[in-house]
Structures are given as C-alpha cells and as structure tokens.
Amino acid sequence: MNKTTIATKFDYDVIVAGGGPAGTTASTLLSQQGHKVLLIDRDQHPRFHIGESMLPMSEPIFKRLGVDWQVGQYQRKNGAEFIDEAEGLRIRFPLASQHQPYQVERSKFDLMMIENAAAQGVDVHQVEMVKDVSCDIDKVSVRTDKSEYTARYLIDATGRSAMMGRRKKSIQRIDNLGKFSLYTHYHSVHAEAANTLYETGDVKIIIVDIGWIWVIPMAGRRLSVGLVVQKYIAASERKPALFDGYLSASPLLTEALQGAEKEFDVRAEADFSFVNKSRHGLRYACCGDSGGFLDPVFSSGVFLAVKTAEMVADRLHEALFAGKEDDPELHAVDDHDYALGFNSMRMFVERFYHARLVHNLFSVSDRSEELKEDILGLLGGDLWTGKNDFQKKLLKSRQAQKLGIVDV
C-alpha cells in the first residue's frame, strides 16, 4: 500500500496518548520504522513520578530505543533483597547476570525517554489534554484542548488514567493487595551504614506487619523510601506519622538515614490494582498501566510498560505496512502473551500477601536451588520461557482458578 497516499488522508499514522515509558517506547519504535507518530502528553517533562526500580529484561528494549544510560547517571541495580527484621531473616536475589537493570529517578528517566522519542522523529506535544477520541472503521479522531487530529491508529498509554478502559467501562478492580502508600525521597544519605546500599544497588523490601517498605538507592547518595499498606487503616491514620513510625522501628533505616534529609513532605498515593478487560479493539490498543496496574512489590510496572509497548508497536508496524490496521483482533495473540505476563506477576504478588511467600523462601531456598532460580526468573521479568515450573504452579493454583485466571 502506498504510504504517501495514506498520509494524505490522515494527519498521522499513529497517535499515542501518554508520555510515560509505555508511550515513549511505542512511539519511538514506530517512528524508527518510518511511521508518522504524534505523542500527546498532558504533563510538561520533567515531572515527578514514583516507581524507580527497573527489571533486567527491560535492557534489550532500551537498547532498541537507543537511549543512553550515561545521560542520567543512574544507579546500577544488582539485586533484590527481602528482609524481615523482626524475625532476623533475609534472602537476596542477584539480578544483573544477563542484563543490567538500573534504579532511576523517574523525572530524569521519563525526560530522557520523551526527548529520545522526539530525537527519533516523534511529534511530541506536551501540556496537551485529550478530551475525546473516536475509533471508527475508517479512522481514529482525537480532540484535545488545543486541536483535532486524525490517524490510522490509537495507542492508549495513559497509565492508571486508563482512558480507553474507563470509556468502555472495562476496568476490573483487584482487591486485597496494597491499598495505599506513603513515601518520600531522602538526600545526603552519607551514613556509613548506608554504604552497602550504594555498593550493591539492591532494592530492599522490608516486610512489616501492615505491608512492606521499599528502599531504593538512587544516584547522588539519594534514597526513595515508601511504606505500602495492605491491611485496613482508617483514613484518619493515613498520615506521615504512620510512615515515620515504621521507619523509626527499622534498625536498617534508622542507621542508614542518620543525617539524611527529606526532599519533600511525605506523600500519599492510592495503590489499588486493576485489570482492563478491553485492552484492544477497532483501531486501538492499550499498553502499560492502561492495560492493568499491579501492586509494585516486585517492581514490574516499568518493565510491563515497555514490554507491552514493544509488543503493540511491532505488531502494529506490520499491520500498517500491510494496510490491515483496522482488524479489531490485530493484537489478540500479543494480548494472550500480555495476560500470561500480567497474571504471572499478579499471582506472584498474591502469594506475597496471602501465602507468606517470602517467609517460605527463607526456609526452603537453601534446599531448593531450582525454586530460587524460578523465582529469580520472575523477579527479572523473564516471563515467557515456558520453562519456569514455579510460574506454572502459580497459574494453575486454586487461587488462580478462584480469581478466574485460567486461560493463559
């Protein structure tokens, strides 16, 4: 099909709504293939965002995008350590054997990604809000607060706003995982007790009675710390005092944060998980958090964002070239792969909260090297090998069947 002819009928080949990791990944990959792409983001980058920990299997995608990790001077992440200070137990998983993951400050990282997209030919519009979309048999129409555009295809990368899912009323909440988080960043983390945090670059997960605490070292002796609460806490108690109380009860954090200062007041954020039951359709597809959001205990958010964006972009490129982008089932095969990855991580999180997963690992990991390797695969984002026995057991468990996770 003659691309020049097509271009005269539409303003763009593809419009991407959302400028986070999913949107910038999809738009960059499509632009690299010669498609005319518009990325619309309501924010002005750099802007703050939580979620600083990457998974190893993200690295091959970043290489395709051509991003330069040296630009942000990011902290190398070499492992993940789970700690129960009350019981004196800990277990570490090394994560940098095949691919190098990083701990990032999201404002710098997201800025790097959107600037890279623009440098590779994407038409980037910031501080522009999508007001209405229409996906018809012959075209996509998008109206914003500044203009109107037409395209051959729409990619929804609007994150937890889940633009298409909410329009189609296909958002299904996942209950009984993390309910909310309290968090801040620290700078001047110069205590000697904090040295190992930066030497290893490990993300620390400290298990507490109401949930867990993340501890993520970032470049420049900075630290992201957050308390994720799974148990019911009255709204009147969801305050910085709750956060400060749990940090002061942690020997690791008490020592590491001596002399450190908060960069901003403790913030609160709802952490409810959900899945979008309508992730693709006529001339549109969702990727990243717009397809589903999971409790962040295993740092899967950015990885699933860039991986699903890669899947969508690669399939869409073929369809655009062949003039078959109007097929509502275009992404059916990839959506099955997405469901496999998302549901694997979902059941992993379910086990963390409801089956004392980590505590069981403390006792069996030394006896079962195979189990430890399987869990290492999930923690690294290696979700599609078909060889992970622990992953298979998660997806075939009674709990998975109870939750309706059977068709994967």
Looking at the structure of the chain, the number of domains it has is: 3
pLDDT tens digits, 265-274: 999 998 789 9
Virtual torsion, Cα 98, 84, 52, 61, nearest 10 deg: 20
Query: Mean pLDDT for the chain?
Result: 93
Residue 58 lies in a domain: no
Same domain for 126 and 39, yes or no, is: yes
Is 335 a domain residue?
no
Q: Are residues 212 and 263 in the same domain?
A: yes
Quick: pLDDT tens for 202-218: 999 999 999 999 999 99
First to last CA, the chain: 35
Instruction: Give kind and range of the element (H or E) at residue 185.
Output: strand 180-187
The pLDDT of residue 4 is 42
For residue 197, being part of any structural domain is answered with yes
Answer whether residue 344 is part of any domain.
no
Q: How far apart are CA 258 and CA 202, in angstroms?
A: 19
Residue-level pLDDT at 178 = 83
312 & 182 share domain: no
Question: Do 111 and 122 belong to one domain?
Answer: yes
Last residue of a domain, one of 248, 271, 294: 271
- Would you say residue 246 lies in a domain? yes
Tell me the mean pLDDT in the region 132-159. 98
Taking the C-alpha atoms of residue 122 and residue 16, their distance in angstroms, rounded to an integer, is 10
Return the residue matching tokens 């060889």.
Answer: 387
Q: Kindly tell me if the per-residue pLDDT of 286 is higher than 70.
A: yes
Residues 33 and 116 in one domain: yes
Q: Are residues 198 and 299 in the same domain?
A: no
Look up the domain containing 398 and give its range.
354-402
262 contacts 241 by C-beta, under 8 angstroms: no
112 and 258 in a single domain? The answer is: no
The 10s digit of each residue's pLDDT in 18-40 is 999 999 999 999 999 999 999 99
Q: What is the pLDDT of residues 224-264, one digit of tens each?
A: 999 999 888 888 888 999 999 999 999 999 999 999 999 99
Residue 20 and residue 165 in one domain: yes
Query: Does residue 200 sit in the same domain as residue 325?
Result: no
pLDDT surpassing 70 at residue 364: no
The predicted-structure confidence for 179-210, as pLDDT tens digits, reads as follows 899 999 999 999 999 999 999 999 999 999 99
Task: Indicate if 280 and 267 belong to the same structural domain.
Answer: no
Question: pLDDT tens digits for 366-407?
Answer: 557 888 889 999 999 999 989 999 999 999 998 888 888 854
Residues 96, 119: Cα–Cα separation, whole Å? 29
In a domain, 345, yes or no: no
Shared domain for 319 and 194, answered yes or no, is no
Task: Dig out the tokens for 275 from the structure.
Answer: 């899945």
What pLDDT was estimated at residue 176? 85
**Proportion of the chain above pLDDT 70, given as a percent:** 95
Burial 188-216, CB ≥16 within 10 A → b, else e? ebebeebeebbebbbbbbbbbeebbbbbb
Is the distance from CB of 45 to CB of 111 less than 8 angstroms? Answer: yes
To the question of pTM greater than 0.85 for the whole model, the response is: yes
The three-class DSSP label of residue 371 is: helix
- The CATH code of the domain that includes 32 is 3.50.50.60
User: What CATH number does residue 259 fall under?
Assistant: 3.30.9.100
Q: Are 197 and 257 found together in one domain?
A: yes
Does residue 233 form part of some domain?
A: yes
H runs (alpha helix) in 140-250: 163-167, 195-200, 240-248
Reported as a single tens digit per residue, the pLDDT across 86-124 is 989 898 999 988 899 999 999 999 999 999 999 999 999
How far apart are alpha carbons 392 and 381 in whole angstroms?
Answer: 15
Residue 241 lies inside a defined structural domain of this protein: yes
From 239, 271, 303, give the residue that closes a domain.
Answer: 271
pLDDT above 50 for 147: yes
b/e code 300-329 from CB counts within 10 Å (16+ = b): bbbbbbbbbbbbbbebbbebbeeeebbeee
Q: Let me know: does 225 contact 263? Beta carbons within 8 Å.
A: no
Confidence band (pLDDT; 50, 70, 90) for 2? very low
Give the count of beta carbons closer than 10 Å to the beta carbon of residue 336.
Answer: 11
